[in-house]
Protein backbone atom coordinates (compact mmCIF):
# COMPACT_ATOMS: atom_id res chain seq x y z
CA UNK A 1 0.00 0.00 0.00
CA UNK A 2 2.61 2.55 -1.08
CA UNK A 3 -0.19 4.65 -2.50
CA UNK A 4 -1.92 4.78 0.86
CA UNK A 5 1.29 5.80 2.66
CA UNK A 6 1.91 8.46 0.07
CA UNK A 7 -1.64 9.73 0.50
CA UNK A 8 -1.15 9.83 4.26
CA UNK A 9 2.07 11.84 3.93
CA UNK A 10 0.39 14.29 1.57
CA UNK A 11 -2.51 14.68 4.01
CA UNK A 12 -0.09 15.31 6.90
CA UNK A 13 1.76 17.91 4.84
CA UNK A 14 -1.50 19.61 3.96
CA UNK A 15 -2.66 19.64 7.58
CA UNK A 16 0.73 20.93 8.79
CA UNK A 17 -0.16 24.28 7.26
CA UNK A 18 -3.37 24.66 9.28
CA UNK A 19 -2.19 25.60 12.77
CA UNK A 20 0.47 27.52 14.61
CA UNK A 21 2.10 30.90 14.17
CA UNK A 22 2.77 30.53 10.47
CA UNK A 23 -0.70 29.72 9.20
CA UNK A 24 -2.62 31.82 6.72
CA UNK A 25 -5.82 30.44 8.25
CA UNK A 26 -4.93 31.30 11.86
CA UNK A 27 -5.39 35.00 11.19
CA UNK A 28 -4.31 37.97 13.31
CA UNK A 29 -4.79 40.84 10.89
CA UNK A 30 -7.30 42.39 8.51
CA UNK A 31 -5.51 41.41 5.29
CA UNK A 32 -5.09 37.81 6.43
CA UNK A 33 -8.75 37.63 7.44
CA UNK A 34 -9.80 38.67 3.90
CA UNK A 35 -7.50 36.09 2.36
CA UNK A 36 -8.70 33.32 4.70
CA UNK A 37 -12.34 34.19 3.94
CA UNK A 38 -11.54 34.16 0.23
CA UNK A 39 -9.92 30.74 0.64
CA UNK A 40 -12.90 29.19 2.43
CA UNK A 41 -15.50 30.66 0.07
CA UNK A 42 -13.49 29.58 -3.00
CA UNK A 43 -13.08 26.12 -1.51
CA UNK A 44 -16.82 25.78 -0.76
CA UNK A 45 -17.71 27.25 -4.16
CA UNK A 46 -15.40 24.75 -5.87
CA UNK A 47 -16.88 21.84 -3.91
CA UNK A 48 -20.46 22.87 -4.76
CA UNK A 49 -19.58 23.33 -8.41
CA UNK A 50 -17.80 19.98 -8.56
CA UNK A 51 -20.78 18.19 -7.03
CA UNK A 52 -23.32 19.86 -9.34
CA UNK A 53 -21.32 19.31 -12.52
CA UNK A 54 -20.53 15.70 -11.69
CA UNK A 55 -24.10 15.14 -10.55
CA UNK A 56 -25.41 16.40 -13.87
CA UNK A 57 -22.92 14.26 -15.75
CA UNK A 58 -23.79 11.18 -13.70
CA UNK A 59 -27.50 11.79 -14.16
CA UNK A 60 -27.25 12.13 -17.91
CA UNK A 61 -24.81 9.26 -18.50
CA UNK A 62 -25.87 6.66 -15.94
CA UNK A 63 -29.36 7.24 -14.57
CA UNK A 64 -31.32 8.60 -17.47
CA UNK A 65 -29.62 7.71 -20.74
CA UNK A 66 -32.64 5.87 -22.04
CA UNK A 67 -35.24 8.14 -20.52
CA UNK A 68 -34.06 11.56 -21.65
CA UNK A 69 -34.54 12.63 -25.21
CA UNK A 70 -31.49 14.10 -26.91
CA UNK A 71 -32.68 17.68 -26.62
CA UNK A 72 -33.37 17.36 -22.92
CA UNK A 73 -30.01 15.65 -22.30
CA UNK A 74 -28.21 18.37 -24.20
CA UNK A 75 -29.83 21.09 -22.15
CA UNK A 76 -28.77 19.35 -18.92
CA UNK A 77 -25.18 19.12 -20.20
CA UNK A 78 -25.05 22.69 -21.46
CA UNK A 79 -26.70 24.03 -18.32
CA UNK A 80 -24.59 22.01 -15.90
CA UNK A 81 -21.35 21.96 -17.88
CA UNK A 82 -21.18 25.51 -19.24
CA UNK A 83 -23.80 27.93 -17.92
CA UNK A 84 -23.55 26.95 -14.24
CA UNK A 85 -19.71 27.02 -14.03
CA UNK A 86 -19.54 30.32 -15.92
CA UNK A 87 -22.09 31.97 -13.62
CA UNK A 88 -20.59 30.60 -10.40
CA UNK A 89 -16.97 31.26 -11.36
CA UNK A 90 -17.71 34.77 -12.62
CA UNK A 91 -19.52 35.59 -9.38
CA UNK A 92 -16.63 34.18 -7.31
CA UNK A 93 -14.10 36.09 -9.40
CA UNK A 94 -15.94 39.40 -9.07
CA UNK A 95 -16.38 38.97 -5.34
CA UNK A 96 -12.78 37.74 -4.94
CA UNK A 97 -11.34 40.78 -6.71
CA UNK A 98 -13.46 43.08 -4.55
CA UNK A 99 -12.24 41.54 -1.30
CA UNK A 100 -8.51 41.29 -2.17
CA UNK A 101 -6.40 43.52 0.10
CA UNK A 102 -4.76 46.53 -1.56
CA UNK A 103 -1.01 46.30 -0.88
CA UNK A 104 -0.58 50.03 -1.57
CA UNK A 105 -3.14 51.25 0.94
CA UNK A 106 -1.62 54.13 2.97
CA UNK A 107 -0.74 53.34 6.57
CA UNK A 108 -1.43 55.22 9.82
CA UNK A 109 2.04 56.77 9.99
CA UNK A 110 4.58 54.06 10.73
CA UNK A 111 6.71 52.94 7.81
CA UNK A 112 8.94 49.89 8.12
CA UNK A 113 11.59 49.39 5.48
CA UNK A 114 12.72 45.78 5.16
CA UNK A 115 15.61 44.62 3.00
CA UNK A 116 16.11 40.96 2.17
CA UNK A 117 19.76 40.01 2.65
CA UNK A 118 21.44 36.61 2.33
CA UNK A 119 19.95 35.23 4.60
CA UNK A 120 18.54 37.73 7.03
CA UNK A 121 16.30 40.78 7.24
CA UNK A 122 17.49 44.36 7.60
CA UNK A 123 14.71 46.27 9.35
CA UNK A 124 14.34 50.07 9.63
CA UNK A 125 11.53 51.80 11.47
CA UNK A 126 10.49 55.20 10.23
CA UNK A 127 7.95 56.64 12.67
CA UNK A 128 5.97 59.57 11.31
CA UNK A 129 8.22 62.59 10.75
CA UNK A 130 11.47 60.72 11.53
CA UNK A 131 14.58 61.89 9.72
CA UNK A 132 16.72 58.89 10.50
CA UNK A 133 15.50 55.34 10.95
CA UNK A 134 15.71 53.08 13.97
CA UNK A 135 17.70 50.14 12.68
CA UNK A 136 17.36 46.56 13.81
CA UNK A 137 17.23 43.11 12.21
CA UNK A 138 15.46 39.78 12.02
CA UNK A 139 12.47 40.70 14.13
CA UNK A 140 9.54 42.93 13.30
CA UNK A 141 7.39 44.43 16.00
CA UNK A 142 4.12 46.09 15.11
CA UNK A 143 1.42 48.01 16.96
CA UNK A 144 -1.95 46.23 17.03
CA UNK A 145 -4.89 48.15 15.57
CA UNK A 146 -2.72 50.37 13.38
CA UNK A 147 -1.90 50.07 9.73
CA UNK A 148 1.80 49.82 8.92
CA UNK A 149 3.31 50.43 5.49
CA UNK A 150 6.16 48.15 4.51
CA UNK A 151 8.67 49.31 1.91
CA UNK A 152 10.50 46.27 0.62
CA UNK A 153 13.74 45.80 -1.27
CA UNK A 154 16.52 43.24 -1.60
CA UNK A 155 20.27 43.35 -1.59
CA UNK A 156 21.38 40.87 -4.26
CA UNK A 157 18.74 38.31 -5.18
CA UNK A 158 14.95 38.16 -5.03
CA UNK A 159 13.37 37.32 -1.68
CA UNK A 160 9.74 37.39 -0.63
CA UNK A 161 8.29 38.92 2.51
CA UNK A 162 5.51 36.92 4.11
CA UNK A 163 3.84 36.89 7.51
CA UNK A 164 1.00 34.43 6.78
CA UNK A 165 -0.95 35.29 9.94
CA UNK A 166 -1.03 38.98 8.96
CA UNK A 167 -1.47 39.01 5.20
CA UNK A 168 -0.30 38.08 1.75
CA UNK A 169 3.25 37.95 0.57
CA UNK A 170 5.21 40.45 -1.49
CA UNK A 171 8.38 39.91 -3.51
CA UNK A 172 11.51 41.90 -2.69
CA UNK A 173 13.76 42.91 -5.59
CA UNK A 174 17.25 44.37 -5.80
CA UNK A 175 17.05 47.96 -7.01
CA UNK A 176 13.28 48.25 -6.92
CA UNK A 177 10.93 49.10 -4.09
CA UNK A 178 7.73 47.16 -3.53
CA UNK A 179 5.12 47.82 -0.92
CA UNK A 180 2.70 45.98 1.30
CA UNK A 181 0.31 47.44 3.82
CA UNK A 182 -0.70 45.36 6.85
CA UNK A 183 -3.13 45.99 9.69
CA UNK A 184 -2.43 43.54 12.53
CA UNK A 185 -5.22 43.28 15.08
CA UNK A 186 -4.48 40.51 17.55
CA UNK A 187 -1.34 40.82 19.71
CA UNK A 188 0.86 37.74 19.64
CA UNK A 189 3.99 36.27 18.15
CA UNK A 190 3.74 35.08 14.56
CA UNK A 191 6.28 33.74 12.16
CA UNK A 192 7.49 35.41 9.01
CA UNK A 193 9.34 33.48 6.35
CA UNK A 194 11.10 34.22 3.09
CA UNK A 195 8.82 32.79 0.42
CA UNK A 196 11.07 32.96 -2.63
CA UNK A 197 13.94 30.55 -3.12
CA UNK A 198 17.07 32.65 -2.59
CA UNK A 199 19.93 30.20 -2.13
CA UNK A 200 21.32 27.57 0.21
CA UNK A 201 19.80 28.95 3.39
CA UNK A 202 16.45 30.09 2.02
CA UNK A 203 14.68 27.77 4.51
CA UNK A 204 16.56 29.45 7.38
CA UNK A 205 15.45 32.93 6.44
CA UNK A 206 12.67 33.55 8.93
CA UNK A 207 11.79 36.13 11.55
CA UNK A 208 9.49 36.69 14.48
CA UNK A 209 6.63 39.12 13.87
CA UNK A 210 5.54 40.43 17.25
CA UNK A 211 2.23 42.31 17.39
CA UNK A 212 1.99 44.41 20.55
CA UNK A 213 -0.55 46.73 22.18
CA UNK A 214 0.26 50.26 20.85
CA UNK A 215 1.59 51.66 24.16
CA UNK A 216 3.89 48.67 24.63
CA UNK A 217 5.06 49.11 21.05
CA UNK A 218 5.89 52.78 21.62
CA UNK A 219 7.91 51.88 24.72
CA UNK A 220 9.72 49.16 22.84
CA UNK A 221 10.53 51.44 19.91
CA UNK A 222 11.92 54.11 22.25
CA UNK A 223 14.15 51.48 23.89
CA UNK A 224 15.19 50.17 20.50
CA UNK A 225 16.20 53.68 19.41
CA UNK A 226 18.60 54.03 22.35
CA UNK A 227 22.28 53.14 22.16
CA UNK A 228 23.53 49.94 23.75
CA UNK A 229 23.91 50.17 27.51
CA UNK A 230 27.64 49.75 28.30
CA UNK A 231 28.30 46.44 30.05
CA UNK A 232 28.93 46.55 33.78
CA UNK A 233 29.99 43.03 34.74
CA UNK A 234 33.57 41.91 34.14
CA UNK A 235 32.84 39.04 31.75
CA UNK A 236 30.71 41.22 29.49
CA UNK A 237 33.33 43.99 29.56
CA UNK A 238 35.98 41.50 28.46
CA UNK A 239 33.49 40.21 25.90
CA UNK A 240 33.13 43.70 24.45
CA UNK A 241 36.92 43.84 24.05
CA UNK A 242 36.87 40.49 22.25
CA UNK A 243 34.06 41.78 20.02
CA UNK A 244 36.03 44.85 19.02
CA UNK A 245 39.47 43.21 18.75
CA UNK A 246 38.20 40.29 16.65
CA UNK A 247 36.91 42.80 14.14
CA UNK A 248 33.19 42.04 14.58
CA UNK A 249 32.57 45.76 14.17
CA UNK A 250 33.64 45.62 10.52
CA UNK A 251 30.31 43.97 9.72
CA UNK A 252 28.09 44.66 12.73
CA UNK A 253 26.91 47.80 14.46
CA UNK A 254 26.52 48.12 18.19
CA UNK A 255 25.37 51.71 18.58
CA UNK A 256 27.33 53.59 21.21
CA UNK A 257 30.57 51.67 20.45
CA UNK A 258 33.17 51.79 17.69
CA UNK A 259 31.39 48.94 15.94
CA UNK A 260 29.64 50.59 13.00
CA UNK A 261 29.68 47.92 10.25
CA UNK A 262 26.57 47.59 8.13
CA UNK A 263 27.30 44.40 6.17
CA UNK A 264 25.65 42.18 8.78
CA UNK A 265 22.73 42.58 11.18
CA UNK A 266 22.72 45.44 13.70
CA UNK A 267 23.42 43.88 17.10
CA UNK A 268 22.67 46.86 19.36
CA UNK A 269 19.81 45.01 21.09
CA UNK A 270 20.46 41.41 20.03
CA UNK A 271 19.92 40.20 23.60
CA UNK A 272 16.28 41.25 23.52
CA UNK A 273 15.42 39.51 20.25
CA UNK A 274 13.50 36.30 20.12
CA UNK A 275 15.69 34.58 17.57
CA UNK A 276 19.29 34.33 16.47
CA UNK A 277 20.40 33.98 12.85
CA UNK A 278 17.03 35.07 11.38
CA UNK A 279 14.79 32.53 13.06
CA UNK A 280 17.50 29.88 13.26
CA UNK A 281 17.57 29.43 17.05
CA UNK A 282 16.78 31.21 20.31
CA UNK A 283 19.14 33.75 21.83
CA UNK A 284 20.86 31.73 24.58
CA UNK A 285 24.53 31.77 25.60
CA UNK A 286 24.96 28.29 24.17
CA UNK A 287 23.34 29.11 20.82
CA UNK A 288 25.33 32.35 20.53
CA UNK A 289 28.49 30.29 21.09
CA UNK A 290 27.51 27.73 18.47
CA UNK A 291 26.64 30.49 16.04
CA UNK A 292 30.01 32.24 16.40
CA UNK A 293 32.10 29.07 16.20
CA UNK A 294 30.03 27.04 13.68
CA UNK A 295 28.05 29.47 11.55
CA UNK A 296 28.20 27.15 8.55
CA UNK A 297 26.68 24.26 10.51
CA UNK A 298 23.65 26.37 11.41
CA UNK A 299 23.27 28.21 8.13
CA UNK A 300 24.87 26.76 4.98
CA UNK A 301 26.82 29.28 2.87
CA UNK A 302 26.18 32.11 5.30
CA UNK A 303 28.46 35.13 4.79
CA UNK A 304 29.67 35.25 8.38
CA UNK A 305 32.79 33.10 8.87
CA UNK A 306 33.19 30.83 11.89
CA UNK A 307 35.58 32.10 14.57
CA UNK A 308 38.00 29.92 16.48
CA UNK A 309 38.03 31.53 19.92
CA UNK A 310 39.42 30.28 23.19
CA UNK A 311 36.77 28.95 25.55
CA UNK A 312 37.23 31.91 27.87
CA UNK A 313 36.95 34.51 25.09
CA UNK A 314 33.86 32.81 23.70
CA UNK A 315 32.17 32.72 27.10
CA UNK A 316 32.87 36.43 27.63
CA UNK A 317 31.75 37.35 24.13
CA UNK A 318 28.45 35.49 24.41
CA UNK A 319 27.89 37.06 27.82
CA UNK A 320 28.38 40.49 26.22
CA UNK A 321 26.04 39.81 23.32
CA UNK A 322 23.32 38.29 25.53
CA UNK A 323 23.50 41.41 27.69
CA UNK A 324 22.81 43.78 24.75
CA UNK A 325 19.15 44.35 25.57
CU1 LIG B 1 15.28 34.88 1.06
CU2 LIG B 1 14.33 32.87 0.33
Do 90 and 118 lie in one domain? The reply is: no
Average pLDDT of the residues of the chain: 91
CB burial of 289-315 (b: ≥16 within 10 Å; e: otherwise) equals bbbbeebeebbeebebeebebeeebbb
How many independent structural domains does the chain possess? Answer: 3
Is residue 193 a contact partner of residue 117, using CB atoms and an 8 Å limit? no
Q: Say if 307 falls within a structural domain.
A: yes
> Which of 88 and 154 is assigned the larger pLDDT?
154
Tell me, what's the pLDDT at 6?
80
Tell me, what's the pLDDT at 46?
86
DSSP for residue 274: S
Q: Which residues pair with 153 in a beta bridge?
A: 115
The dihedral of CA 28, 33, 37, 39: what is its sign? negative
End position of a domain, from candidates 78, 99, 120: 99
- Give the integer Cα–Cα distance in Å for 112 and 149: 6
- Give the integer Cα–Cα distance in Å for 249 and 267: 10
Residue 159 Cβ inside 6 Å of ligand 1? The answer reads yes
Do 203 and 120 lie in one domain? The reply is: yes
Rg of the chain taking only CA atoms, in angstroms: 26
Q: Say if 87 falls within a structural domain.
A: yes
CATH number at residue 296: 2.60.40.420
Tell me, what's the pLDDT at 299?
92
Is residue 122 a contact partner of residue 114, using CB atoms and an 8 Å limit? yes
Tell me, what's the pLDDT at 17?
59
Q: Say if 142 falls within a structural domain.
A: yes
Residue 197 Cβ inside 6 Å of ligand 1? The answer reads yes
Which ligand 1 atom is at minimum distance from the Cα of 119?
A: 1
End position of a domain, from candidates 208, 242, 261: 208
Range of the domain at 133: 111-184+195-208
Tell me, what's the pLDDT at 186?
94
pLDDT digits (tens, 9 = 90+) for 18-60: 667 788 888 999 999 999 999 999 899 889 889 988 888 888 7
Residue 109 has pLDDT above 70, yes or no: yes
Q: Say if 5 falls within a structural domain.
A: no
Give the confidence band of 189 by pLDDT, cuts at 50, 70, 90.
very high
Residue 79 has pLDDT above 90, yes or no: no
Residue 205 Cβ inside 6 Å of ligand 1? The answer reads yes
Q: Whose CA is nearest to atom 1 of ligand 1?
A: 159
Do 85 and 122 lie in one domain? The reply is: no
Residue 11 has pLDDT above 80, yes or no: no
Tell me, what's the pLDDT at 31?
94
Q: Say if 213 falls within a structural domain.
A: no
Mean pLDDT of 69-96: 85
Is the ipTM reported for this complex over the cut 0.85?
yes
pLDDT digits (tens, 9 = 90+) for 252-308: 999 999 999 999 999 999 999 999 999 999 999 999 999 999 999 999 999 999 999
pLDDT digits (tens, 9 = 90+) for 124-137: 999 998 899 999 99
Is residue 321 a contact partner of residue 315, using CB atoms and an 8 Å limit? no
Which ligand 1 atom is at minimum distance from the Cα of 202?
A: 2
Q: Say if 7 falls within a structural domain.
A: no
- Give the integer Cα–Cα distance in Å for 244 and 256: 13
Cα(156) to centroid(ligand 1), Å = 11
pLDDT digits (tens, 9 = 90+) for 162-174: 999 999 899 999 9
Q: Say if 72 falls within a structural domain.
A: yes
Q: Say if 287 falls within a structural domain.
A: yes
Which ligand 1 atom is at minimum distance from the Cα of 159?
A: 1
- Give the integer Cα–Cα distance in Å for 159 and 188: 25
Helices (H), the chain: 2-16, 30-58, 70-78, 84-99, 214-225, 234-245, 285-293, 295-298, 311-322
Residue 213 has pLDDT above 90, yes or no: yes
Amino acid sequence: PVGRQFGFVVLLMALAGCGGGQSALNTAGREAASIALLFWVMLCGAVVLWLLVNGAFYYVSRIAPGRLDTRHARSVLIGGGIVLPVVVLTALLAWGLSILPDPRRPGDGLVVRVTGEQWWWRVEYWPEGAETPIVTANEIRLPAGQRTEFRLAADEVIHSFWIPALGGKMDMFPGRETMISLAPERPGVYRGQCAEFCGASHAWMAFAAVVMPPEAFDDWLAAEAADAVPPTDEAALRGQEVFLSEGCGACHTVRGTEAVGTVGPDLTHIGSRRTLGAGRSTVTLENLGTWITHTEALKPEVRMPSYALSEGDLADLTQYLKGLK
